[in-house]
Amino acid sequence: MIGPEEGVMQSRAQAMAAMLELMTDQLLIVCNGFPSREACKLRDRAQNFYMIGSMGATAGIGLGLALAQPDKTVVVFDGDGNVLMSLGTLATISALRPKNLIHVVFDNEVYGTTGNQPTYSRVVGLDKMAKAAGYKNVERVWEREDIVYEFKAMLGDDGPSFLLVKVNEQLEDADRIALSPAELTKRFKGSVT
């Protein structure tokens, strides 16, 4: 199936790099698999929390963090497979309405870390689900210019915001995270409090 976005789509790493460049003191939770490795390679910082397991929990972690730190902006880098695993969290976020939460979903329509098995996001619009659930701002982007424009707007606006970034399946050659999970917790917590 060839979508209208075909041909102009970025890789997730390209999209991620453009967004990471815009970030200052925001806290960032990155989902498990390649997204965490890519974010770590592109722009590692103490305010990045990389998941290596617990697929589906990304937005839940971001939500808890946003509630605990209402004066800081929390960005979540999520994936389509992760969101589909915990669709209920779209409801929880919409109902609790944390102003300081930006939920970014890199949607490559596959389980990329495990060999590109297709996900249902190629037929089910995750942006439509977020909109229906009640996120304040919802946008769907795929071109670099739009990614930067919408993410910048969301960084400056009250949320909860949902940014669906359609990306291609290309993986960035990125190593596993060097820090141990316990070290990641310590480093992140230290950057928050």
Partner 1 sequence: MSSITVLEADDFVKGLQGIGFDFFTGVPDTILGGIIAHLTEERLYTPAVREDEAVAMAAGAYLGGKIPAVLMQNSGLGNALNVLASLNLIYQIPCLLLVSWRGFEGKDAPEHLVMGETMTTLLDTVRIPHRTLSQKTIVDDLKWTATTIMEKRVPVALLLKKGIVKTIQP
Within 23-164, residue ranges assigned H as helices are 34-43, 58-68, 80-85, 88-96, 126-133, 144-155
Of 8-16, 45-53, 103-111, 157-165, the window that binds partner 1 (rule: CB under 8 A) is: 45-53
Shortest approach of partner 1 to residue 170 CB, angstroms?
Answer: 26
Taking the least distance from each CB to partner 1, the nearer of 122 and 187 is 187
DSSP structure class, residue 121: G
Closest-CA residue to 93 (of 127, 124, 59) = 59
CA-to-CA distance for 83 and 80, rounded, in angstroms? Answer: 5
C-beta separation of 39 from 48 below 8 A = yes
Token pair 């590692």 is at which residue?
A: 44
**In the complex, least distance from residue 77 CB atom to partner 1, rounded to whole angstroms:** 14
Size, binding site for partner 1 by CB under 8 A: 35
Q: Are 29 and 49 in contact (CB under 8 A)?
A: yes
Instruction: Answer yes or no whether residue 51 interacts with partner 1 by CB under 8 A.
Output: yes
- Residue selected from 9, 29, 147, 154 as contacting partner 1 according to rule CB under 8 A: 29
Q: Does 188 bind partner 1 (CB under 8 A)?
A: yes
Binding mask 80-109 for partner 1 (x = CB under 8 A): ------x-xx-xx---x-------------
Question: Contact positions toward partner 1, by CB under 8 A?
Answer: 29, 49, 51-69, 86, 88-89, 91-92, 96, 181-182, 184-185, 188-189, 192-193
